[in-house]
A and B are shown apart, each in its own frame.
Chain A
C-alpha cells in the first residue's frame, strides 16, 4: 500500500495538536472540534486497517522502515500484527470517545486537548513501533502529557497522584532502558525487534552475568518495567490513586489503553525475545496473576468510592490476563503438547486486554456521569437512582454485568478462555482464581444495588437523566461488549494466526534450550 497508513495513525494527533496550538485559547469550540476530528480520522483509519488486515498471516503487515540514526543502527520501523491490531483499534476508539467525555472541560481547554492528542500519539506509537529505540521514545513520551493531565485537571490530591505515577513509571522505564541496551550490545547491535526475536535467544544462550543467566537478568529488568505499567501486584499502588484523581477521560485512557501496554510489552518483548525464560517464569506469572485477581478483588470489595472500586477491579481483571499468558507453557513437551490450551490461554489474554479496555472505559464513564451531577462518588451516598435515571441505570447495568463476567457479554468469554487455558497446567492456581469471579460479582452487585435500588436519596430527587452526549460515549462500547460476547469469532480470527506464531516461537526456541 502506498499510503503510509501506520505513520498516519501515529502522527495525525500531532498534526491536530499543532493545529490547536495556533488557535486562540478562547475559541474553545474550535479546539474541541479539532480534537474530535483528529481522533475521529484516526479511528476511521484504524477501522480501515482492521478491514484490510490479512487474517491468515501471523507476520508483520503494513511495515514501514526508514533510516533514522544510522550511526547507532536506529530505524523508524512501524508494523502491525494480530497482537497489536486490537490495541491499535482500541486506542483511537477510546481517544475519540474520551474527547466527548471531556467535552465540558472548563479549565484551560487548549492545554487539555493539546496534551491529550500528544498522549494519543504516544500510545499509538508504542503499539506500532517495531524498533526498540522508537518504542522506548514513545513509551516515555506518554509520561509528560499524563503527568500534566492528572496534575492539572485532576481531583484534590492530583499533584501527589501525578508525581507518584510519574516516579513509578519512570523507575520501570529506566530499568527497561538498561535491558534494551544490554540486548543491543549482546545481540548484534540492533534495535530491530524482529531481528532481536531471532538473534537474542541464540546470543544469550549460556551467557552468565554474576552467576545468573543473562536471559533471566534481562527478563527481570524488562518484566519489572512492564509490570509497573500493568500493574502487577507489588507495583500496583500508584494505580488507584492516579485513577481516583484523574479526570474521567484520562481514567478511561489510563485503564483502557495505558495498562495494556504492560501486557503488550510482555507479549511482544519478553515472550518474543526471551522465550526460554518464559518457561522459567510462567509459574511465577500465574501466581502473580492469581494474587492480582484475589488482591484486587478484595481491595475493590473494601472500597466505598465508586471510582476506586473500578480502579481495583482493573487490577483484578488484568490478573486473569496474566494467568492466560502463563498458559503458553501448556504447549511444551513436558505438559503434553497441549496446543489447544496454550492457544485458549493466549487468545484469552489478548481478548481480555481488549475487553477490559471497553468494559473499564464504560465503568469509568459511568462513575464520571454520576460524579458530574452529585460531586461525590460514595457508593453508599446514593440510592434509588434507578427510578430517577432509568436509562442511566440500564446502561450502568450492562457495564456492571460485563465487569462481573456475565455470559453473553464479552468479559465472560475472555475470562473463561484464560481459565480454560491455564487449567491443565496450573490446576490449583486456577481453582483459587475462580474464587475471584465470586468476589468480582459481590462487589459489582453490591455497588449496583446500593446506587440504583433502595429508597431514593432525597438530595438527588432532581438529578437530571444521562445526556445524549454521555450516552453517545457509552453506547458504542456497550454494543461492542454485547456483540463480542455473543459472537467473538471476528476478533479471535484476527488474532489467531499471530497467537499460534507466538506459541510456536516460545515452544521452538524455548523448549529446546534449557536455562535451568
Chain B
C-alpha cells in the first residue's frame, strides 16, 4: 500500500506520536511538584490508541508504507498486550515514591516513545525499519533505566545497559547487512524466498549472519549467554521501569523473533507447521533448544541465591524467557500460540509481582527479601496477592501461570517424541523455581506474627493489585476467551511472490 493510503490504517501509531508531542508540551506548563499531571495526558492518549485498535479494525491483512510495516492480527495482538502493560505502568508510576525528587514529565514521554518503538517492532517486515524500531526501544530503555540520576545503582545500570545494548545491536546490524548482501533485499519475505533458493556456496556467510542475528535478538529477550545485563539493569532501574522492561520489550522481542524466524528461516513463511530451511545445514532446532535449556536452568538456579527481590525476579524473567524459547524449535502454530498465550499471562503475574515490590519499597524503602518479612500479616491483601503471583509464576493451578505452562508443554509434546526431553527439562525447572518463589511466601507468612495494626496501601494500588490477582486466578480457571483471542491472532502477513 502506498504512503498516502497507509495513513488511515496507521491511526493508533499516529495517536501515540501526537500523545508524545502533547506530553512534551504539557510538561512545560507544570511545576516540578505537579509534573506528574502530564502522565494523565499520556494515559489518555494510550487509552485512545487502545480504543482505536479495538474498534477501528478493518480485517484485511496488508502492508503499509510500501511494505515497511504490516498490519496483521499477529501484530495487533502484540500491540494490545503491550498497550495493556504500558497503561498499567503509567497508572502505577504516579504512585512510585522513587520519583519523589524528580520531574516525571520526561519519564512518561520516554515511556510512550518506547511504546511507539515497540509498535513498530512487532509490525516491521523490513530489516531496516526493524533495526530502527529496536533502537528506538533500546535507547529509551537506557535513559529510563538511569532515570534516578542521583542514585549510583541506577546510573550503573544505565551504563551497563548502553554498552551491552550498543554492542549487540551492532552485531545485529552486521547480521542484517550480510543477509542483504546474500539476498539483495531488506524485505523479510523476499529474504526468506531468496534463501530458500540459495545455492550451497553461501552457507558460511549465512551461518555467520544467523549467529549474529541470534545474538542481537537473544540480548533483547535476555537469553543466556546474552543475559548479563539483565540482573544489574533490573536491580538499578526504577521499579516501575524494571516491571516494564521485564514484560513489554520482552513481548516485542519475542514477536520479532517469531516473525523473523518464521518468515526468513522457515520454509513456509507462514504461521503453520513447516520445517526449518535446510540450506544452512545448521541444526537450528537443536541450537534453540540448547539455548532454552541453558537459559531456564541458569535463570532458575541463580535466582535461588538472590537476596534482592528485584534481582531474583530478574533471574526469574530470564528463566521465563527460557520457557518460552523452549517451544520455538517446534515450528508449528501451536508453539506460537503457546508463546503468545504465555506472554499475556506473564504480563499479568509479573507486573503484579513488581507492583508489590514497589508498594513495599514505598513503605519500607528497601527491596531485599527481608523487607517482606511478615508482610502477609502486616498487609494481608498485598500478601495474598503476592502469594497468587508467586504461585502463578511457579506454574501451579488454579492460576493462569499453570495454563501458560500447560500450553507450552502441550506444544512440545505435540511436536513429537524428539521434544519430550525438553518438556521434562522444563518441568524439572518449574520445580526448581518453586524453591525461590516459595521463599518469598515463606518470608511473608512463616517469619512473622499476627499484627494488631494493618497497613493498607492507597486505594488505586490496592485496586490494581486485586484486579491483577483476580484475573490471574480467573484466567487459570476459565481461559477460553484468551485462548480464542490468541488463536484468532495467529495470522501472519505473507507476501505472495
Do A and B assemble together? Answer: yes
**Is B276 an interface position by the 8 A CB rule?**
no
* Interface presence of A23 (CB below 8 A): no
A143 to B480 Cα, complex, angstroms: 25
Q: Given A166-B434, A185-B413, does the pair A178, B420 have CB atoms closer than 8 Å?
A: yes
Cβ-defined contact, A159 with B413, below 8 A? no
Q: How far is the CB of B372 from chain A (nearest CB, A)?
A: 15
Report if B402 contacts A (CB, 8 A).
Answer: yes
Q: With A108-B450, A171-B431, A185-B413 in contact, is A209–B438 under 8 Å at CB?
A: no
Q: State which of B397, B420, B438 has its C-beta within 8 Å of the C-beta of A166.
A: B438
Kindly supply a per-residue 1/0 record for chain A positions 68-92, scoring 1 wherever the CB is within 8 Å of any chain B CB and 0 otherwise.
1111100000000000000000000
Interface pair B434/A170, CB less than 8 Å apart: yes
In whole angstroms, what is the CA distance A67 to B445 when docked?
37
Q: Are A71 and B438 in contact (CB under 8 A)?
A: no
The reply on A103 being an interface residue by CB < 8 A is no
The chain A residue with its CB closest to the CB of B442 is A159
Please, which residues of chain B bring their CB within 8 A of the CB of A177? Answer: 406, 409, 427
B56: Cβ under 8 A from any A Cβ: no
Q: A152–B402 contact, CB under 8 A?
A: no
Chain B residues, Cβ within 8 Å of A143: 396
Q: Tell me whether B434 and A175 are in contact (CB under 8 A).
A: no
Partner of B446 from the list A137, A151, A171, A210 (CB cut-off 8 Å) is A151
Within 8 A of A (CB), among B469-494: 478-480, 483-484, 487
* A274, chain B: closest CB distance, angstroms: 17
User: A158 an interface residue at 8 Å Cβ cutoff?
Assistant: yes
Residues B480 and A151 in contact, CB atoms below 8 Å apart = no
| In the assembled complex, A140 has its CB within 8 A of some CB on chain B | yes
Per the bound structure, the CA–CA distance linking A170 and B395 in Å amounts to: 11
Beta-carbon contact of A147 and B483 below 8 Å: no
Q: Which residues in chain A, 349-368, are within 8 Å of chain B measured between CB atoms?
A: none
| A459 at interface by CB-CB < 8 Å | no
B480 touches A167 (CB 8 A): no
B147: CB under 8 A from chain A?
no
Task: Assess the B435–A181 pair: CB atoms within 8 A.
Answer: no
Contact of A71 among B396, B413, B427, B484 (CB under 8 A): B484
| Distance to closest chain A CB from B476 (angstroms) | 9
A210 to B446, CA, bound (A): 45
Cα A174 to Cα B424 in complex, Å, equals 8
Residue of A nearest to B402 (CB): A140
A71 touches B409 (CB 8 A): no
Bound complex: CA of A34 vs CA of B438, how far in Å? 29
Q: Write the nearest CB–CB distance from B430 to chain A, whole angstroms.
A: 6
Cβ contact within 8 Å between B430 and A174: yes
Residue numbers in A under 8 Å from B453 (CB-CB): none
A428 to B420, CA, bound (A): 39
In the complex, whether B414 has a CB less than 8 A from a CB of chain A is yes
CA distance A162 to B478 in the complex (A): 29
Whether A178 lies near B434 (C-beta < 8 A) is no
**Partner of A163 from B410, B428, B438 at Cβ < 8 Å:** B438
What residues of chain B lie closer than 8 Å to A435, measured between beta carbons? none
* A141: Cβ under 8 A from any B Cβ: yes
Cα–Cα, bound, A94→B441 (Å): 28
Q: Nearest residue in B to A207 (C-beta to C-beta)?
A: B417
Q: Of the candidates A70, A152, A181, which one forms a contact with B410 in the assembled complex, judged by CB atoms under 8 Å apart? A: A181
How far is B438's CA from A177's CA once the two chains are assembled, in angstroms?
21
Partner of B479, one of A69, A140, A151: A69
**Which chain B residues border A152 with CB–CB below 8 Å?**
445-446
Q: Is A144 an interface residue (CB 8 A)?
A: yes
Total interface residues on B, using CB and 8 Å?
A: 32
A182 interface hit (Cβ, 8 Å): yes
CB distance from A178 to the nearest CB of B (A): 5
CB-CB contacts of B390-433 with A at 8 A, as 1s and 0s?
Answer: 01000011100010001001100110010010011001101100
* Contact in complex: A178, B427 (CB < 8 Å): yes
The interface residues of chain A lying within 8 Å CB-to-CB of B428 are 171, 174
Determine the chain B residues whose CB is within 8 A of the CB of A72 once the complex forms: 410, 483
Are B483 and A151 within 8 A (Cβ)? no
A175→B430 CA distance, assembly (Å): 11
A375 at the interface (CB under 8 A from B): no
A170 to B479, CA, bound (A): 23
Interface residue A148 (Cβ < 8 Å from any Cβ of B): yes
> For B391, what are the chain A residues with a Cβ–Cβ distance below 8 Å?
144
- Pairwise interchain contact B397-A181, C-beta atoms closer than 8 A: no
**A182 and B413 form a contact (CB under 8 A):** yes
Whether A140 contacts B445 in the complex (CB less than 8 A), given A167-B431, A178-B427, comes out as no
Please determine whether A69 and B483 come into contact, CB atoms closer than 8 angstroms. Answer: yes
| Interchain CA distance A159-B487 in the complex, whole Å | 42
Q: Is the beta-carbon distance between B431 and A209 smaller than 8 angstroms?
A: no
Chain A residues whose CB sits within 8 angstroms of the CB of B427 once the complex forms: 174-175, 177-178
With contacts A144-B391, A178-B409, A181-B413 taken as known, whether A136 is within 8 angstroms of B397 at the C-beta atoms is yes
Query: How far is the CB of A367 from the nearest CB of chain B, in Å?
Result: 24
Which residue of A has the minimal Cβ distance to B439? Answer: A163
Q: Which residues of A contact B441 (CB under 8 A)?
A: 147
Given contacts A140-B396, A178-B413, are A170 and B450 in contact (CB under 8 A)? no
Query: B479: which A residues are within 8 A, CB to CB?
Result: 69
Min distance, Cβ A124 to any Cβ of chain B, angstroms: 15
B414 cross-chain contacts in A, Cβ below 8 A: 185
A142-174 contact mask (Cβ, 8 Å, vs B): 1 or 0: 011001100110000011001100110011001
Hey, which chain A residues are within 8 Å of B450, CB to CB?
Answer: 107-108
Set of chain A residues within 8 Å of B417, measured between Cβ atoms: 209-210
Supplied contacts A143-B396, A167-B435, A170-B434, 11 more A-B pairs, CB within 8 Å: A69-B479, A140-B397, A140-B402, A147-B441, A151-B442, A162-B442, A162-B446, A167-B434, A174-B427, A178-B413, A184-B413
12 contacts between A and B (CB under 8 A): A144-B391, A144-B396, A147-B441, A163-B442, A167-B434, A170-B396, A170-B430, A175-B424, A175-B427, A181-B409, A182-B413, A184-B410
**B-binding residues in A (CB < 8 A):** 68-72, 107-108, 136-137, 140-141, 143-144, 147-148, 151-152, 158-159, 162-163, 166-167, 170-171, 174-175, 177-178, 181-182, 184-185, 209-210
* Residues of B that sit less than 8 Å from A by CB: 391, 396-398, 402, 406, 409-410, 413-414, 417, 420, 423-424, 427-428, 430-431, 434-435, 438, 441-442, 445-446, 450, 478-480, 483-484, 487
The 6 A-B pairs of least Cβ separation, nearest first, read A174-B427, A181-B413, A137-B397, A140-B397, A170-B431, A209-B417
